[in-house]
Amino acid sequence: MALLITNIYNMKKTLLTVFTICSLNSFAQEVDKTDEKSTEETKIQQLLKNVSLSGSIDTYFRQNIGGPNGEDAIAPNTSFANLNGFALGMANLVLSYEGEKVGFTADFVVGPRGEDATFLSPFLRPDGTSSIINQMFVYWNVTDKLKLTMGNFNTFLGYEVISPVGNFNYSTSYMFSYGPFSHTGIKADYSINDDWSALIAVMNNTDATEFNFDNNYTLGAQIGFKGTYLNFLYGKQGGNTDATFQADITTGFDLTDAFYLGLNSTYNTTDEAAFYGVALYPQYSFSDAFALGLRGEYFAEIEGGAGAIGGYDLEGDANVVALTLTGSYAIGGLTIKPELRIDNTSEDTFLDADLDPTSSLSSFVLAAIYSF
């Protein structure tokens, strides 16, 4: 009897030990699963912290003053904001990942402004709309000073940009309109020190965004010093038999806390044909919400340069002086921009209200831009 009791007691101890081991093992597995799930959630959270989504939409109203509107409407021969009456700009969505070493940007656009910005896309759809890709590139921070970027990126030349969010004036200048919009290739940005920077690039034809259709390449370079940038492009463009050379400078100064002055000047030549220009951008902030800015631009063409002005003398030369006064009123993410623009050309390139040739055109634009 004593032996039976002893055996039962030993069996209970054994079963209790086995149960305890199993329970501990099961608990450990649950802890491991919880830790693994927690680790995965942490990785996802860390990844999402480096992802950003931004964008904008813009719309506007445009009318000529003393010039034809409606079906006979005309506009300065510059990019964007040239449609009559109430019109659309573009919708812009930018997805970016910024890692410590690597990252990417995918920038999508739709609407008339977006289509004009990607005008050399060879993959036009049957309905006439163009590529929706404004930018698409990857980058690698090789060191703290050297960054490599490859893909399709907006140009590093000029003062103005494609997105209306990045410009003070809503309509664009002649220099911007006939300079490059975008490049596809590879570029290296190097930070020499806190004041100096340098860039060198090898790219397809200017604005040939998807692929190289003629196996010509364009070289690009930039030297920067304290917010002043000297830019260069050199290479055959499109059907030109001669290489195009362009030099461009942009700079800006905060003269006071409220007064800013920007400057852009450019020179572009292909064989004998050329264009050049200079523009000043004084801007004054009356408050955090309201500012007023003027763009005063002089643009000239030699032997029909870029075909921008549209009317030329016997040598194929012409010039234009364009003054654009823009107000900017911010309400949260919405910015309202009323704008008065006057273009005066050396030749009769416009039409007056009676459809007679004239050298001057005045126009009014009211734009609304929402950014997030």
For the chain, domain boundaries: 1-49, 54-371
Query: What is the reported pLDDT for 207?
Result: 86
Q: Residue 209's pLDDT is what?
A: 80
Q: Which CATH architecture has domain 54-371?
A: Beta Barrel (2.40)
Question: What stretches of the chain adopt beta strand conformation (E)?
Answer: 51-65, 85-98, 102-110, 133-141, 146-154, 182-191, 196-203, 218-225, 228-236, 243-254, 259-270, 273-285, 290-302, 318-331, 334-345, 350-351, 357-358, 360-371
What is the pLDDT, as a whole number, of residue 236?
92
CA distance 258 to 272: 43
Name residues of the chain where pLDDT drops below 70. Answer: 1-41, 43-44, 46-47, 122-130
- Can you give the pTM of this predicted structure? 0.85
